[in-house]
């Protein structure tokens, strides 16, 4: 008798699991529903009441497909553990696990992953992941003989479909209209959207036949006219997680660009990123494809801007203090900073970006004998541990947020911490320019800086980045892009700096400009170059 009380039928287990998923893991979804309700002039509350019921019926039907002996427990344990992490990311940070976020997660290194480990995440995983997984493991499931079990399952699934049909009969138009007006809802349904994105990622990356590699720009030629006997030396600084609205150059009311102001920077206004995560944006910005046509699989199978520059004989080097170049620099000389290389600047997990300056010094000490591009990939403003991105001496804005569970910091603390990262990145850029100025006797020098994507800091309940591009807020898409050209570089490369400053103020730029702009800046001629996308072409002195 006691055993019967403890036992659950397969259908009971399925229904209980569905209820748990709907009323725990889908709390963020109901937040989106609430926002949708608030936007409507008239609300049919009977329709709204059917949404959780519809979800219970739909998940029960889907879960029934996997509620079979020998598969039931391992399947639901794994899915529950995954769903716990997806739920926490959506609830605390507003992060959605779509294909791009799955790709970004897979490419995240262990040090970066540890920054998300805090008391809030551990407690959530324990209560909504480990505990339910343990209960699933211990559950006493009473399986019936195969034919009877199948009959009960089909009856259960038929009942779920009937319930869905009844709701659809009365409220189909409501669901269509509400879903169309709140398209992001589907991305918050746990576990279907995240699991679907994972399956798509695995299919694309492990089960599709690799594309034939496409070499681009083999006709590339360096057309630099060496009038003064000095080569061009350009440093490209690729920032991390910097958003434009916290830059003084774009009207921000705090001195976050105090270090570079003396260098007459050229700030390109209204610049948009290609993606909202490094794994998407970095390959995209160096690709010959524009964002609208960008395909990650194709990008991996063709030359990048770095490769085309290499075909033209430009000396190239990529110095990385972030999570790697995501394939962009694979075929050119590159160095990933050893996280134990400098006891003053590194802690074994991360290094301050100043370590890149030391590497740049080593490179410049070797001398520059030909046209050269050096890329510095900085860790910049990577969260959530913003406070670990700047040394104590650069902690200018206080009080700041000295913790990784940033959602528990005050708005003032969080903004101050993030602004400190922007100011420190500005210091790094200023130091790069200072070093380029010191090279004036040996080379004509220039610097270009841009970020890979922006960041949400609690606006509309969203934190961090990685939102699907279609629904991503401005904070995650609008990025800074800055240029500095020495007078000698501008003169020898026939660029009118005042014209460029006026052009930059006009706005309307994006990562799409980088590919041809790098080729143009290095005076490389090739069929894959597009003059209309070159930031500098408009201001070339004829």
SS (H, E, C) 276-302: CCHHHHHHHHCCCCCHHHCCHHHHHCE
Model pLDDT, residue 1: 31
Given a cut of 90, whether residue 460 has pLDDT beyond it is no
As a whole-number percent, the residues of the chain with pLDDT over 70 amount to 99
Q: What is the mean pLDDT of residues 244-271?
A: 97
d(CA 474, CA 36): 19
- Least confident residue range of 99-103, 123-127, 357-361, 512-516: 99-103
The model's confidence at residue 3, banded by pLDDT at 50, 70 and 90, is very low
As a whole-number percent, the residues of the chain with pLDDT over 90 amount to 80
Q: What is the mean pLDDT of residues 50-70?
A: 96
Q: What is the mean pLDDT of residues 106-130?
A: 84
d(CA 367, CA 443): 9
User: Quick check: 461 and 31 in contact, CB under 8 A?
Assistant: yes
Model pLDDT, residue 542: 78
Of 33, 210, 269, 26, nearest to 128 (Cα)? Answer: 26
Mean pLDDT of the chain: 93
- Least confident residue range of 102-116, 175-189, 350-364: 102-116
232-303+314-539 sits in which CATH class?
Answer: alpha beta
Model pLDDT, residue 335: 95
Q: What is the mean pLDDT of residues 5-27?
A: 93
Q: Phi and psi of 30, rounded to 5°?
A: -70, -25
Q: Are strands 140-142 and 478-479 parallel, antiparallel or unpaired?
A: unpaired
Question: In the chain, where does the domain assigned CATH 3.40.720.10 lie?
Answer: 232-303+314-539
Model pLDDT, residue 39: 80
The model's confidence at residue 6, banded by pLDDT at 50, 70 and 90, is low
Most distant pair of Cα atoms in the chain: their distance? 97
The model's confidence at residue 4, banded by pLDDT at 50, 70 and 90, is very low
Given a cut of 60, whether residue 2 has pLDDT beyond it is no
- In sequence order, what are the residues at sequence separation of 6 or more whose Cβ sits closer than 8 angstroms to the Cβ of residue 215? 302, 303, 307
- In sequence order, what are the residues at sequence separation of 6 or more whose Cβ sits closer than 8 angstroms to the Cβ of residue 70? none
Is pTM beyond 0.85? Reply is no
Alpha-carbon 429 to chain mean position: 22
- Top-confidence residue, 177 or 187: 187
- Top-confidence residue, 448 or 172: 448
Q: Phi and psi of 172, rounded to 5°?
A: -55, -50
Element (H, E) at 318: strand 315-320
């Amino acid at each position: 008798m006691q055993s019967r009380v403890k036992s659950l039928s397969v259908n009971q287990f399925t229904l209980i699991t569905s209820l748990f998923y709907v009323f725990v893991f889908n709390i963020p979804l109901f937040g989106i529903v609430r926002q949708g309700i608030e936007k409507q002039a008239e609300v049919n509350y009977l329709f709204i009441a059917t949404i959780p019921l519809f979800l219970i019926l739909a998940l029960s039907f889907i879960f029934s497909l996997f509620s079979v002996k020998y598969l039931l427990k391992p399947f639901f344990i794994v899915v529950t553990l995954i769903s716990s992490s997806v739920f926490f990311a959506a609830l605390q940070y507003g992060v959605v696990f779509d294909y791009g976020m799955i790709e970004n997660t897979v490419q995240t290194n262990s040090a970066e992953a540890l920054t998300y480990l805090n008391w809030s995440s551990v407690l959530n995983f324990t209560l909504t992941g480990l505990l339910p997984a343990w209960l699933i493991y211990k559950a006493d499931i009473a399986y019936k003989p195969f034919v009877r079990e199948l009959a009960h399952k089909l009856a259960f699934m038929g009942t779920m479909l009937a319930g869905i049909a009844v709701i659809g009969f009365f409220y189909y138009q409501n669901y269509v209209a509400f879903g169309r007006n709140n398209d992001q809802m589907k991305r918050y349904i746990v576990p279907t959207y995240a699991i679907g994105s994972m399956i798509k990622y695995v299919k694309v990356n492990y089960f599709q036949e690799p594309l034939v590699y496409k070499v681009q720009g083999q006709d590339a030629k360096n057309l630099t006219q060496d009038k003064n006997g000095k080569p061009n030396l350009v440093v490209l600084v690729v920032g991390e997680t910097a958003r434009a609205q916290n830059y003084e150059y774009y009207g921000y009311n705090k001195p976050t660009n105090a270090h570079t102001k003396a260098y007459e920077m050229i700030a390109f206004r209204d610049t948009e990123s290609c993606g909202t995560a490094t794994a998407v944006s970095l390959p995209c910005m160096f690709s010959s494809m524009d964002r609208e046509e960008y395909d990650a699989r194709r990008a991996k199978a063709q030359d990048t801007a770095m490769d085309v520059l290499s075909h033209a004989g430009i000396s190239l080097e990529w110095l990385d203090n972030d999570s790697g170049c995501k394939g962009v620099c694979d075929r050119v000389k590159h160095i990933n900073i050893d996280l134990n290389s400098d006891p003053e600047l590194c802690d074994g997990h991360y290094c301050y970006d100043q370590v890149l300056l030391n590497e740049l010094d080593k490179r410049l000490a070797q001398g520059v004998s030909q046209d050269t591009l050096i890329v510095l990939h900085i860790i910049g403003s990577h969260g959530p541990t913003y406070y670990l991105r700047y040394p104590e001496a650069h902690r200018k804005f206080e009080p700041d947020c000295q913790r990784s569970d940033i959602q528990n910091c005050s708005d003032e603390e969080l903004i101050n911490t993030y602004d400190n990262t922007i100011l420190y990145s500005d210091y790094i850029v200023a130091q790069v320019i200072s070093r380029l100025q010191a090279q004036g006797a040996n080379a004509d020098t220039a610097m270009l800086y841009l970020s890979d994507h922006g960041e949400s800091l609690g606006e509309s309940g969203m934190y961090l980045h990685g939102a699907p591009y279609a629904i991503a807020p401005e904070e995650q898409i609008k990025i800074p892009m800055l240029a500095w050209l020495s007078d000698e570089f501008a003169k020898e490369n026939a660029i009118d700096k005042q014209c460029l400053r006026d052009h930059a103020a006009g706005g309307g730029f994006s990562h799409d400009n980088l590919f041809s702009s790098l080729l143009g800046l290095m005076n490389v001629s090739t069929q894959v170059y597009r003059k209309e996308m070159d930031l500098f072409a408009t201001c070339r002195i004829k």
